[in-house]
Chain A
């Protein structure tokens, strides 16, 4: 029996509780009582995957249905993988401890590109044929969703279908279609044909991609007349009435985000030009304070968590923030649990709110100016001035904070080395702001941490055509900045360039990269997001073995080029993205959605901020 086999290897692995399930609010059903078994896979370790809100929502949503049993599956860590392979234990669901190769669906959520090799490794561990074309009757269907799914062509050979957009409605539609298909009897092709008619479902094998001699795409054409030329993403039009779980699985071991999360709204008003989330989740749709407070109370009662946090892309922009946080603070005080705030915009209300929330301990504050120079902040449409930052820093220091984290990016389009070095200047200005704060007002122990990530151009952003800096250029900029940062009071962190470059390759990749992923898998590549596991040499070999070039994918594209993800419609139009790209070049900013509508195209969904009354 599989359970006994698993038990026999657990004494030899770190953190065995990652692999045993049984947590409070996890759902165990009788396999004979359900029609559909769904393996919800997150291609990273338990602690990371369990922190993901989307999984919590869809897990509960599917398990509400008596005919579906959704189980959780995470990537076993290196030690567990070795034991599983040695003992011939296949990848299993945490709830039933049954092998997932016998499930009806294996679904992956794509949260970041550097988990792609883990997906292939997990399919391998599950003993499921890796390639969609090799799966036959009796094999599960492998589907993928999540933010990367809009442009995950690199996984096209492995996925039977993608689900694009918010899953609360479309997932259940696919499940219903599956039951119908089972009743009718038919081939795998028949099922894929059936669901390709559902808005939001993209079946990659139904599209033919042809290439020009220079390697760029000639055309993307549907192979059959029943296939839509463009697949539009799904959104939940009325977010206030959408399903939200009243229970979260409460893990035994500590996970990354070990707390209640309340989703305040989806989408973002701001339109930062580097930000994929800001474009693909449009339009902004909010929940009402009443709905949120009700969810908060239910989750507190059902989990016993000691902390609650808010989730959205820019919580300060929530239109009912004051009413909501007042209500929430009443609850958290009564229940003696703490409220943790996400990064907020640098305005006075946010500072006041932080003051209210963090009554006892002043931890560090995080600000994200994203770029050092004002010109660059205009290029990326981050509507923050140096004044905003320094005023906020002043308020923070006077309020007793002495530790500030600053987040920046380098490698942005139209950026010069001088722009990068301005990051150092800005950091030092924050230091000076501390020094000019009267001694009796400020807390001792100044700590400024400046973290600089490498920019990765993403699909469906105004920068999707931009050249990505190569490893050497990024390294040069990193060193230049290090030189300019000659202040011991600033701690300077930067990301490793090679990982960012690969992330960029897969973020804008085409389906020919499936071969490279397969080769990398054969070479033993996995857990690329973990710096101790990442191997540039193996990746270089994988590309070389397949006759593929990283530089092809990091290059600049023309606006006319057919992009690998042109069969996907996220609402935001290409015309809007092109106009934003042109404004970026001239460092002209664009107002946010509530100031002025810029006709991005997201109004096609018929809901959200696009239809709010304007004053």
Chain B
């Protein structure tokens, strides 16, 4: 989408626990219908099967809830951002909250997404030394790539991670891992690698995407 003539809005929204099992394609359809209900002046593509001109940043993996989803949507005329936010929020299923709507001008492109921060809570069958995996230099895992399964060092995909004990056998991870078109790690792969590292099973796993970063952006908090 070029930025000069087109009227594009960037919508920021959350996906809570109740809707985290919705796949990306199902989510697209859900958003389409929401725009239809809202009767907003969305722009449709030409052709036999017109569809809404929208673009979702970094599809959320199934089973992961999120506090920082983004989508860009093209309109046929300009709208008041606050009205757009309220209007959309009203027609969404519970479980999806619209946080913000802003006119897309010079924000970074979704293509420049490089990493994402996740908050992961889990319980372990046995107590683990929370720092051992955090500090490990290398742990090889099988990862699906375009050319089949590949052995990779998972730590190459982890920019930072900090694991803390939150209770008896329950833990919390704050992690920034690669995300986006160039290099991507699914957060559930991190927990399964950790479980393998500690030779145990994790359960009650809850993963929340906290933030999405574009290249050049600061990840310090």
- Residues of chain A having any CB pair with chain B under 8 Å: 4, 7-8, 10-11, 16-17, 20-24, 28, 250, 252-254, 301-306, 336, 360-361
Whole-angstrom CA separation of A305 from B35 in the bound complex: 11
Chain A min CB distance to B25 (Å) = 9
| Inter-chain contact A17/B23, CB cutoff 8 Å | yes
Of B30, B63, B91, which is within 8 A of A252 by CB? B30
Of A7, A23, A304, which is within 8 A of B32 by CB? A304
Known contacts A8-B204, A16-B63: does B26 contact A24 (CB below 8 Å)? no
| Inter-chain contact A4/B204, CB cutoff 8 Å | yes
Question: Is B139 positioned at the interface, with any CB of A under 8 Å from its CB?
Answer: no
Of B35, B48, B93, which is within 8 A of A360 by CB? B48
Of A21, A306, A361, which is within 8 A of B36 by CB? A306
A-B contact pairs, 7 of them (CB 8 A): A17-B22, A17-B26, A24-B92, A250-B33, A250-B93, A252-B30, A360-B48
| Inter-chain contact A305/B22, CB cutoff 8 Å | no
Name 18 extra pairs, CB < 8 A, besides A303-B37, A360-B48: A8-B204, A20-B18, A20-B21, A22-B18, A22-B95, A250-B93, A252-B27, A252-B93, A253-B23, A253-B26, A254-B29, A302-B37, A303-B33, A304-B91, A305-B36, A306-B32, A336-B50, A361-B48
Question: Is B19 positioned at the interface, with any CB of A under 8 Å from its CB?
Answer: yes
Whole-angstrom CA separation of A16 from B36 in the bound complex: 26
Known contacts A303-B37, A304-B36: does B19 contact A252 (CB below 8 Å)? yes
CB nearest neighbor in A for B22 = A252
Known contacts A252-B26, A304-B91: does B19 contact A22 (CB below 8 Å)? yes
CB nearest neighbor in B for A11 = B63
Whole-angstrom CA separation of A302 from B33 in the bound complex: 10
Chain A min CB distance to B53 (Å) = 15
| Inter-chain contact A17/B21, CB cutoff 8 Å | yes
Question: Is B196 positioned at the interface, with any CB of A under 8 Å from its CB?
Answer: no
Whole-angstrom CA separation of A7 from B121 in the bound complex: 13
Question: Is B190 positioned at the interface, with any CB of A under 8 Å from its CB?
Answer: no
CB nearest neighbor in A for B18 = A22
Question: Is B140 positioned at the interface, with any CB of A under 8 Å from its CB?
Answer: no
Question: Is B81 positioned at the interface, with any CB of A under 8 Å from its CB?
Answer: no
Chain B min CB distance to A257 (Å) = 15
Residues of B within 8 A of A302 (CB): 37
Whole-angstrom CA separation of A10 from B17 in the bound complex: 13
Residues of A within 8 A of B62 (CB): 16
Known contacts A20-B21, A361-B48: does B63 contact A301 (CB below 8 Å)? no
Question: Is B203 positioned at the interface, with any CB of A under 8 Å from its CB?
Answer: yes
Contact with A along B56-76 (1 / 0, CB 8 A): 000000110000000000000
| Inter-chain contact A21/B26, CB cutoff 8 Å | no
Whole-angstrom CA separation of A125 from B75 in the bound complex: 49
Question: Is B130 positioned at the interface, with any CB of A under 8 Å from its CB?
Answer: no
| Inter-chain contact B203/A16, CB cutoff 8 Å | no
Chain A min CB distance to B188 (Å) = 8
Question: Is B34 positioned at the interface, with any CB of A under 8 Å from its CB?
Answer: yes
Question: Is B94 positioned at the interface, with any CB of A under 8 Å from its CB?
Answer: yes
Residues of B within 8 A of A23 (CB): 93
Known contacts A17-B21, A20-B18: does B93 contact A304 (CB below 8 Å)? no
Whole-angstrom CA separation of A206 from B35 in the bound complex: 54
Chain A min CB distance to B36 (Å) = 4
Chain A min CB distance to B158 (Å) = 21
Contact with A along B3-45 (1 / 0, CB 8 A): 0000000000000001101110011011011111100000010
Whole-angstrom CA separation of A255 from B165 in the bound complex: 43
Whole-angstrom CA separation of A301 from B37 in the bound complex: 5
Whole-angstrom CA separation of A598 from B65 in the bound complex: 62
| Inter-chain contact B18/A305, CB cutoff 8 Å | no
Among B71-100, those with CB < 8 Å from A are: 91-95
Residues of B within 8 A of A304 (CB): 32-37, 91
Residues of B within 8 A of A254 (CB): 26, 29
CB nearest neighbor in B for A249 = B93
Residues of B within 8 A of A306 (CB): 32-33, 36
Chain A min CB distance to B83 (Å) = 18
Q: Which of A10, A21, A252, A306 has the most CB atoms of chain B within a 10 A radius of its CB?
A: A252
Whole-angstrom CA separation of A21 from B93 in the bound complex: 11
Chain B min CB distance to A29 (Å) = 13
Whole-angstrom CA separation of A17 from B18 in the bound complex: 9
Residues of A within 8 A of B204 (CB): 4, 7-8
Q: Which of A253, A254, A361 has the most CB atoms of chain B within a 10 A radius of its CB?
A: A253
Whole-angstrom CA separation of A305 from B32 in the bound complex: 9
Of A8, A10, A301, A360, which is within 8 A of B21 by CB? A10
Of A8, A305, A361, which is within 8 A of B33 by CB? A305
CB nearest neighbor in B for A24 = B93
Chain B min CB distance to A255 (Å) = 11
Residues of B within 8 A of A22 (CB): 18-19, 93-95
Chain B min CB distance to A13 (Å) = 10
9 shortest A-B CB distances, which residue pairs? A304-B33, A304-B36, A22-B18, A304-B37, A24-B93, A16-B21, A17-B21, A252-B22, A252-B26
CB nearest neighbor in B for A20 = B21
Whole-angstrom CA separation of A11 from B23 in the bound complex: 13
Whole-angstrom CA separation of A306 from B37 in the bound complex: 10
Whole-angstrom CA separation of A7 from B50 in the bound complex: 37
